[in-house]
Copies of this chain bind each other. A is one copy, B any other.
Amino acid sequence: MQNPAPENLDLILAALGDPARRRAVEFLKDGPRRAGEIAEAAGMSGPAMSRHLRVLRKTRLITEERVEEDARIKLYRLERAPFEALSGWLEEVSAFWGDSLQALKAHAESVVREEKGAGKSPPVRAARRSGP
């Protein structure tokens, strides 16, 4: 029970799908920054970025922390976990190719289909053509 729930992937991907948020993330690559700096770096108003940050926060792509020495300041930093989750999903999808496994797998299935006629999710079923 350490998995961040699968639905998060949609949120993570959607969060990163916005250009402004992606700019923010790339900006934070160089270290924790304040909201105002992020907004400026992304070329938009504070309020606009504030809402983007909220979206990123909700997915835990970023976290906030107050600076001890000056509690007025909040710093945002990238968080590792969501990126790893995404990375894991990508690998899972890409395992598809791995070692030319694609054709192999596809062919194997088509063979199975040919033999079984129609499985539970008939991948081609080729609109039964008139015959051989």
Residues of A that sit less than 8 Å from B by CB = 9-10, 13-19, 22, 25-26, 29-34, 37, 41, 67, 69-70, 72-73, 75, 78, 80, 83-84, 86-87, 90, 92-94, 96-97, 102, 105-106, 109-110, 121-127, 129
Report the Cα distance A121→B38, complex, angstroms: 10
Taking a contact as CB atoms under 8 Å apart, the answer to whether B22 and A9 are in contact is yes
For the complex formed by this chain, how many copies does it contain in all? 2
13 residue pairs from A and B, CB less than 8 Å apart: A10-B17, A25-B93, A29-B92, A31-B106, A32-B123, A34-B123, A34-B124, A37-B121, A41-B121, A67-B124, A69-B126, A69-B129, A87-B94
Q: How far is the CA of A69 from the CA of B114 in the complex (A)?
A: 14
Docked-complex contact B127 and A72, CB < 8 angstroms: yes
In the bound complex, how far is the Cα of B14 from the Cα of A80, in angstroms?
21
Is the Cβ of B73 less than 8 Å from the Cβ of A127?
yes
Q: Is the CB of B17 within 8 A of A13?
A: yes
B-side contacts of A9, CB under 8 Å:
22
Are A93 and B73 also in contact (CB < 8 A) when A37-B121, A124-B34 are? no
Point out the residues of chain B lying under 8 angstroms from A19, CB to CB: 10
| Complex contact B90–A78 (CB within 8 A) | no
